[in-house]
Structure 1
């Protein structure tokens, strides 16, 4: 009787494990990501280990993608070198990695115009209920698919250099 109960329980546990979905927090034990490069013109993001491309992703950018972000609300994605400086596992956009925009130069440029440089620039996934209706829909962030941000989130560490090019 005990053996049958144990066997039934073990089978039920294995069946439930087989139905489990993949979590959004992946593990990565490959080569270190030493830098991230975003080519805005090509709408591409690259994860690099020194000079070797580890991964490549197609991206969406700010709704006004041409030019460097100047001020809050301009819809542009920054250009230049920054750091990945934070992560948000509770993002409204699945998962997100923060970019250290604005730097002192960005703040000074915006202040000279009497404006705020804005902030909260992230690499992120899609919002809940997202329905694509064209490219370049963010307020200045870099957007990828949810499965892609899961991979990026696992691979990229805080402090990683990110370079955003025109």
Structure 2
């Protein structure tokens, strides 16, 4: 379904657009679901999938992120917590990793849990790496530059993101 078709179905007013970026006026995204095993991300409103994307993951895609530099993508429930319009990967949407549990685990082992996990585009670096290696990030979730423009417009801070193995 296209964004235009989704916009026609909406009865709720859309949040104020972020200047100079795509706008979205369809049903609100109430959850982001990432399935690492199938490399798919879904933007969900209630029980309906609005959009789905193929994704790239961290360069060590199996297992839950535990420490800074491990190359893994987190697993579990997090939240969209920020937007970066100046990302080196075109645009990026922040994921609230690490949570309290992640911090406690890493600290118990005298390690740093890492951070700066995002859903992001490819940008020049990813466009060079992605054709050769689908899982090229340091732990983030990557889509194409065109797709991150849609995601950036559709999600809001506070939306839960569930990342499944």
Q: TM-score, normalised by structure 1?
A: 0.84
Offset of residue 94 of structure 1: 0.2
Residue 155, structure 1, aligned to residue 157, structure 2: no
Instruction: Say whether the 8 Å CA contact 1:59–1:144 is kept in structure 2.
Output: yes
Unpaired runs of 5+ residues, structure 2, are 1-18
Residues 99 and 123 of structure 1: is their aligned pair in 2 closer, same or farther, counting only changes over 3 Å? same
Distance 1:68 1:150 in 2: 27
Offset of residue 91 of structure 1: 0.5
Identify which of 107, 111, 116 aligns with 1:111: 107
Unpaired runs of 5+ residues, structure 1, are 1-22
Offset of residue 24 of structure 1: 6.9
> Which residues in structure 2 correspond to 1:16-165 (within 5 Å)?
25-129=21-125, 130-131=127-128, 132-165=131-164
Distance 1:153 1:135 in 2: 21
Q: TM-score, normalised by structure 2?
A: 0.85
Offset of residue 39 of structure 1: 0.2
Distance 2:23 2:59 in 1: 32
Cα-Cα RMSD: 1.2
Distance 2:123 2:114 in 1: 21
Structure 1 runs of 4+ aligned residues shifted over 2 Å read none
Higher Cα Rg: structure 1 or 2?
Answer: 1
Distance 1:85 1:99 in 2: 6
Q: Give the length in aligned residue pairs.
A: 144
